Structure 1
Amino acid sequence: MSSAPPIRIPDGFVEELKARIRPSDVIGRKVKLTKKGKEWVGLSPFTAEKTPSFYVNDQKRIFKCFSSGMGGDVINFVMETERLSFMEAVEKLAEEAGMALPKASPAAAEEYDHRKRLQAACEAAAEFFEERLRAPEGSGARAYLEGRGLSASSWSKYRLGYAPDDWRRTRAHLHEKGFTDSELLEAGIIKESDRGGEPYDMFRGRLMFPIPDARGGIIAFGGRALQPDAKPKYLNSGDTPLFHKSTVLYRYKAAREALGHGEGGGLIVAEGYMDVIALCEAGFGNAVAPLGTALTEDQLQLIWRAGPEPVMCFDGDRAGLGAAYRALDRALPFAEPGRSVFFVLLPDGMDPDDLIRAKGAGAMAEQLAARLPMSELLWRRERDAEPLDTPERQAGLEARLMAACGHIRHAGVKAAYERDLKSRLRDYLWQLREAKRAANYQKRPGKPGRPGSAQILSEGEPAQEVLKQGAREKIGGLSLVLRAIDNPGLLAIGAEMLAQCAFADADVVRLRDAVLDLANDGIPIDRGTITAHLANSGNIRAAGLLKDYPVTPQIATNGSEAREWLIALEQYVAMRRSSDQETGFGTDSASADPTLSPQEWRRQLQKVAERQALKVRMNEASSKRSDS
């Protein structure tokens, strides 16, 4: 189907359309219905239910879903289940009913018929390419698809094809089907020779991906070269009366239907055809892709129309990160309550197809679950743009963050972003100051050495990379926190002491705080719950430390290893006491660094009071260990 010209539906047309269509016939294609008296009954297509609560009444020409509260006529049903506009649903049903849509004018009617003719040419080309894929000449394309793990049934599902490696084979076939050169040129299937010769095929010797419009009709093609040195690797149709690549998403209709009707959520936006197909084959049927261009405003509106919280899934390389940043800048101005964008940056330079083939659908699900909100990606980009070693550069970070917030059009969301980013900035600068104090403390003559060989991670450097370099043991305090995670019984004897430890590394502090927060809430402590807690709060690097560090052996809380763990904690507590004395936090007056954030100031004030009680308990514990 092609888009109809602008029309005004005359009075009575919609009622006549509904009168010609039996709702149970249309709805029955998506819902298994059983006759019950005068009505049809089935399971709701909008919710997951076990007892049927979905009813269709052909006499009244309505449906009602009691589990979701939805109801209406057959047009409403098509709009809801296929994510179509009113006009799109009317056109679809009118075509099924054999009713001609009213035309706005003779010129509009002629244009509408012409577009339908061009789309018929694209459909005929798609069928031809599908046939050639299964013919002997398509052996190379078939081998490529089989090497990517796609079976013949998948070829049919996505209507994959092969364009013969011939200059005029497709053109000749479509001539036989009654299409003229003028029509094929306008549909983008053939091209004019720049030397005055006869037109030639646009696609030759390529694996073909038909591109449907929002209602499933083929309007364009993408072709992948099968030779490694062929240029370009991917070739898309140019703009035509049917197709404007900046307003179309690959596989949009099928993806929005697969999205379902649960609360929240949205489409998964990948970068290419094979990524989308790999995601669909792995069970993520709500995947789409732009067509060789950066994401446009029109495409964003399409994406949000399908669901309020889409996920942009980009390759884990420099180009993928750049694409994520461009998408962030495009989406940020349109953020509003109930409408946002999330991001997934895949690891190790992989794309979705690579990750799924190497590690399975579960690994992809984990990446999607750990998606980053726009605010987190914005914070990371600006934070890592330059070193923050001077007041001027720190001020520059704040200026960049506030400038980005200035692009948000919704006043409430803009204010929320400003609050969130200013809070992040205060906390991060405080962490930098703490790390600097700890480093200066170690350099002071006559001070006790720090336990282990501490290494402060750069905030711009993923913790996983440091771990891969064999530096696990260099991250001060990490092994002590992980020992508590793997042995939750240790918290019963050392939680207060653990809370007072002066860890210089920000991610170790986040791990420690997550452990104590969950323990205080009565949630069982294990690596899974800690990882989920960190991921939900956006602390992906801290979660990476936990993931990459080997599980520590179980120890008895009344044994020598537990006592050694307490002694090691004491050294970090001693560092905190010494640092507090230098900054004034060791005094009852609690005079503190005036540059601390208000949140941290309140925390430190509370710790002053707690520390006095802790000293008594530590002295008692030390006496008992000396006696033993």
Structure 2
Amino acid sequence: MSSTIRIPDGFVEELKARIRPSDVIGRKVKLKKQGKEWVGLSPFTNEKSPSFYVNDQKRIFKDFSSGIGGDVISFVMETERLSFMEAVEKLAEEAGMQLPKATAQDEAAYDRMQRLRECCEAACTFFEDRLRAAEGSEARTYLEGRGLGAAAWARHRLGYAPDDWRTTIEHLKSRSFGMQEILDAGLAVQKEGGGEPYDRFRGRVIFPITDARGQVIAFGGRGLQPDAKPKYLNSNDTDLFHKGRVLYRYKAAREAFGDTDEGGLIVCEGYMDAIALAEAGFGHAVAPLGTALTEEQLSLLWRAGPEPVLCFDGDAAGLRAAYRSIERALPHLQPGRSLFFCLLSGGMDPDDLIRQSGPEAMRTALEHSLPLVEVLWRRERDAEAIDTPERQAGLETRLMSAAAMIQNGSVRAAYERDLKSRMRDYLWQRRQAKRAASGSGQRGEAAQKGAPQTSTPPMTRGLGLLVRAVESPHLIDIALETLSMATFPDPDVAAIRDVLISLPEADKGVDRGTIRDHLVSRGNTRAADLLETYPEIPEIAPDGPEEREWLIALEQYVAREESGPYGLAGAGDEVTSSPESWRRLHHEVSERKARAARLNEAAEQVDRD
């Protein structure tokens, strides 16, 4: 729709008067007449008893299970993830109402855009037909080799552009489109200095690109010959299409996303990845069009869901793409609006992974997606060595410079605290590992004289969180279940946690000295030493932002698993599981509580002894 078209007063009311809400809503919700109203199950929640009502007389709907309500326009906006103007245009077409045109110039511009859309649609149908014709055999073989049969071709409207210079042009001319319209739609190329235009797409598998309403506005083409240059070719920018403002499969993905409980759309790198994900059951997958994500594309993603997952190849190029996305996203982060990253190992992309290991492997990789702050931290941590005070200062400067890009004050402050905490913990762990390595070397010399040897202790991830709870005991009260469920890879850190949660239930005070004495009484001197030597940490105030951040950081240990062959993390890295993984593990609460009770009994026995 032309951006110059203005909806005049009264048009929206006339539109709603012409449309019966139960007709539109009834296409998505099975409604049953009940008195003057229609009743059905909520499309927004998984309820079993109907609490969704539609009133045609009042022209409203109300969903009591979710609290959502409004008119037919707001229903279309909610269920199809459309903007107000997109929903009005869609319903106006259904009602047979022509959108108003303010001036003759506006009307001409609107009609021209409609002709370009019709030209693209005619080309799309032509390409679909050519794929199924004799000349499309090579393209069919390619698609079948990628696991896509005729049903998938139809679902994604895949096609084939004949390997000829003017076949598409001549077909479109036969459908009454002029040469200038074909050029303006991006389907033909005009030679420099004049000469006959020629087809832009030749000898390629065709992927139609649609706008937010699902109308074809451009195409992508994949060359079939090994030496095809370029391998992938997109339409040039036109009045209809700007590659930085569009996402491949966006409308279909928004509709599929409405049927999921995920946090956002999945963003992959190419057409085939998006199609492979959709065919494997991840219908909310989209792809940019050969460029790094733009601010406009991020805005589209956030309109669909608050926490999209960017899925890139886990190679150097994939990391660079992830880092570029961070730079784009940082200024626009808001409370409840961020990004997650799924970086696949082994140079694989989603299509490779699904074909090699199946959809469940892809699901596992997505469940191990990392939050933006974690990828940002790893980027700066690994940028250069941090083995001197000057380089450590450089790390802090880079981290704070990145946080300073965030325009929202509360999110910026939260990032500054989180990144400083990560840096402090990481540097302390490095010092501990260095001391342990030094001690191991001394023990190695002693071993030559017959002294026993012990292995170097592992990195003590999570220790800082527990020390904060020691310094701020109210955290134990509000997070006892989460502490019980948390999994810490270092057994001595886990031992500190075990004593930490047992003391309050035994009516014992919580401080470093008491916990250290319990650990020593059990013979765990290393755990006692870890606790005693950890730097002093300021107390966290109740009900403040630092308390919330501590709870979020602790929850990351609730679903701790070693990353499989498809995750970003390598040996010794920390994996942040998705909210879906956390929810699935909450059934362990009872078992963990029982364990806490047993620890309590053990602590009391130690006191008696």
Structure 1: tracts of 5 or more residues without a match: 460-477, 510-528, 547-612, 621-628
Whole-Å Cα distance in 1 between the matches of residues 292 and 87 of structure 2?
Answer: 30
Relative to the length of structure 2, the TM-score reads 0.76
Where do 1:422-571 residues align within 5 Å? 422-444=420-442, 447=446, 451=453, 454=456, 500-501=525-526, 532-533=559-560, 540-541=569-570
Cα shift readout 1:405-440 (whole Å, capped 9, x = no counterpart): 111111111111111111111111111111111122
* From 29, 32, 36, the counterpart of 1:31: 29
Q: Residues 50 and 181 from structure 1, CA distance in 2 versus in 1: closer, same or farther, beyond 3 angstroms?
A: same
Give how far 1:443 is off.
2.8
Q: Are the aligned partners of 1:332 and 1:407 in contact in 2 as well (CA < 8 Å)?
A: yes
Give how far 1:10 is off.
2.0
Q: Residues 441 and 125 from structure 1, CA distance in 2 versus in 1: closer, same or farther, beyond 3 angstroms?
A: same
Give how far 1:149 is off.
1.4
* From 51, 54, 57, the counterpart of 1:53: 51
Q: Are the aligned partners of 1:5 and 1:103 in contact in 2 as well (CA < 8 Å)?
A: no
Whole-Å Cα distance in 2 between the matches of residues 114 and 179 of structure 1?
Answer: 12
2:89 is aligned to: 91
2:417 is aligned to: 419
Q: Secondary structure at the match of 1:343?
A: strand
* From 389, 393, 417, the counterpart of 2:387: 389
Q: CA RMSD in A?
A: 3.5
Q: Residues 274 and 50 from structure 1, CA distance in 2 versus in 1: closer, same or farther, beyond 3 angstroms?
A: same
Give how far 1:58 is off.
2.2
2:38 is aligned to: 40
Whole-Å Cα distance in 2 between the matches of residues 263 and 353 of structure 1?
Answer: 23
Equivalent residue letter for 1:532: A
Equivalent residue letter for 1:286: H
Q: Residues 455 and 145 from structure 1, CA distance in 2 versus in 1: closer, same or farther, beyond 3 angstroms?
A: farther
2:368 is aligned to: 370
Give how far 1:531 is off.
7.7
* From 176, 186, 189, the counterpart of 2:187: 189
Give how far 1:34 is off.
2.7
Higher deviation after alignment, 494-503 or 395-404: 494-503
Q: Secondary structure at the match of 1:63?
A: strand
Cα shift readout 1:164-216 (whole Å, capped 9, x = no counterpart): 11111111111110001100000000111236321110001111000000111
1:581 is aligned to: none
Q: Secondary structure at the match of 2:559?
A: helix
Q: Are the aligned partners of 1:296 and 1:330 in contact in 2 as well (CA < 8 Å)?
A: yes
Q: Does 1:341 align with 2:368?
A: no
Equivalent residue letter for 2:84: F
1:105 is aligned to: 103
Relative to the length of structure 1, the TM-score reads 0.74
Equivalent residue letter for 1:98: G
Q: Residues 236 and 454 from structure 1, CA distance in 2 versus in 1: closer, same or farther, beyond 3 angstroms?
A: same
Q: Secondary structure at the match of 1:397?
A: helix
Q: Are the aligned partners of 2:436 and 2:456 in contact in 1 as well (CA < 8 Å)?
A: no
Equivalent residue letter for 2:201: F
Whole-Å Cα distance in 2 between the matches of residues 502 and 143 of structure 1?
Answer: 62
Equivalent residue letter for 1:281: E
Equivalent residue letter for 1:430: W
* From 315, 318, 321, the counterpart of 2:316: 318
1:67 is aligned to: 65
Cα shift readout 1:81-124 (whole Å, capped 9, x = no counterpart): 11111111111111111111111221111101100000100000
Q: Residues 387 and 544 from structure 1, CA distance in 2 versus in 1: closer, same or farther, beyond 3 angstroms?
A: closer
Cα shift readout 1:517-545 (whole Å, capped 9, x = no counterpart): xxxxxxxxxxxx97823589x99546879
Equivalent residue letter for 2:351: D
Whole-Å Cα distance in 1 between the matches of residues 262 and 415 of structure 2?
Answer: 20
How many residues get paired? 504
Whole-Å Cα distance in 2 between the matches of residues 495 and 94 of structure 1?
Answer: 76
Where do 1:122-201 residues align within 5 Å? 122-194=120-192, 196-201=194-199
Q: Does 1:224 align with 2:251?
A: no
* From 287, 290, 311, the counterpart of 2:288: 290
Give how far 1:154 is off.
1.1
Q: Secondary structure at the match of 2:310?
A: strand
Cα shift readout 1:250-288 (whole Å, capped 9, x = no counterpart): 111111121127777111111111111111111111111
Give how far 1:500 is off.
4.1
Larger Rg belongs to: 1
Whole-Å Cα distance in 1 between the matches of residues 355 and 402 of structure 2?
Answer: 37
Q: Are the aligned partners of 2:248 and 2:289 in contact in 1 as well (CA < 8 Å)?
A: yes
Q: Tell me: higher relative CO, structure 1 or 2? Use CA pairs within 8 A at least 6 residues apart.
A: 2
Give how far 1:25 is off.
1.8
Equivalent residue letter for 2:176: G
Give how far 1:447 is off.
4.2
1:257 is aligned to: 255
Give how far 1:240 is off.
0.1
2:480 is aligned to: none
Q: Residues 544 and 188 from structure 1, CA distance in 2 versus in 1: closer, same or farther, beyond 3 angstroms?
A: same
Equivalent residue letter for 2:305: G
Q: Residues 245 and 130 from structure 1, CA distance in 2 versus in 1: closer, same or farther, beyond 3 angstroms?
A: same
Equivalent residue letter for 1:241: D
Cα shift readout 1:443-488 (whole Å, capped 9, x = no counterpart): 337645674665979x9xxxxxxxxxxxxxxxxxx99959x99xx9
Q: Are the aligned partners of 2:519 and 2:528 in contact in 1 as well (CA < 8 Å)?
A: no
Equivalent residue letter for 2:140: R
Give how far 1:138 is off.
1.0
Cα shift readout 1:125-164 (whole Å, capped 9, x = no counterpart): 0000011111111111111111111121111111111111
Q: Are the aligned partners of 2:342 and 2:568 in contact in 1 as well (CA < 8 Å)?
A: no
Whole-Å Cα distance in 1 between the matches of residues 186 and 144 of structure 2?
Answer: 29
